[in-house]
Structure 1
């Protein structure tokens, strides 16, 4: 069952695990950068309370969205790159 849609061999499983790890690490980094950029001024400077609270809430809202968007985009790209262009057909040089 090594055909399209069949079972994965060990190398394919390892590649998927590496890609999942990369997606999680890069998404964590991206979310942290966005949170720091948005909420950082509220944490570092003495801003009016309404502005500081607003920046913190925006940061806490946007960071998880960035995290999920990054994970999904990396994993979708990985899956798209692994699928054959024409299922059921072989390439001309095989």
Structure 2
């Protein structure tokens, strides 16, 4: 089950991953909701011409899941690539 170069993660590492996944999902839902509200909100709140209402609703329905995926991926990639500095309380030499 364990491959070459693979090591067991500590409880702290597993907790950090869990927190980061939760943050990624929560912030992605928030970003998608804000974007949907900004794009499709006028169609839901005001009486618009049928074509404008249809376009804004569909645009919101397309962009919201897209921004959700982009946000989740960007947060998780940044977490995976960033890591922690080698010395607590200090910045890493490459920063």
TM-score by length of 2: 0.81
Superimposed CA distance per residue, residues 61-82 of structure 1 (whole angstroms, 9 cap, x where no aligned partner): 0000000000000000000012
Cα distance in 2, alignment partners of residues 83 and 18 from structure 1: 15
Cα distance in 1, alignment partners of residues 78 and 6 from structure 2: 17
Superimposed CA distance per residue, residues 26-46 of structure 1 (whole angstroms, 9 cap, x where no aligned partner): 000000000000000000000
Alignment correspondent of 1:23: 24
| Ranges of 4+ aligned residues in structure 1 off by more than 4 Å | none
Alignment correspondent of 1:39: 40
Alignment correspondent of 2:49: 48
TM-score by length of 1: 0.82
Cα distance in 1, alignment partners of residues 56 and 7 from structure 2: 48
Alignment correspondent of 1:57: 58
Structure 1 unaligned residues grouped into runs of 5+:
86-94
Q: How many residues align?
A: 83
Residue 7 of structure 1 aligns to a residue whose secondary structure is: coil
Superposed CA RMSD in Å reads 2.1
CA shift for structure 1 position 16: 0.1
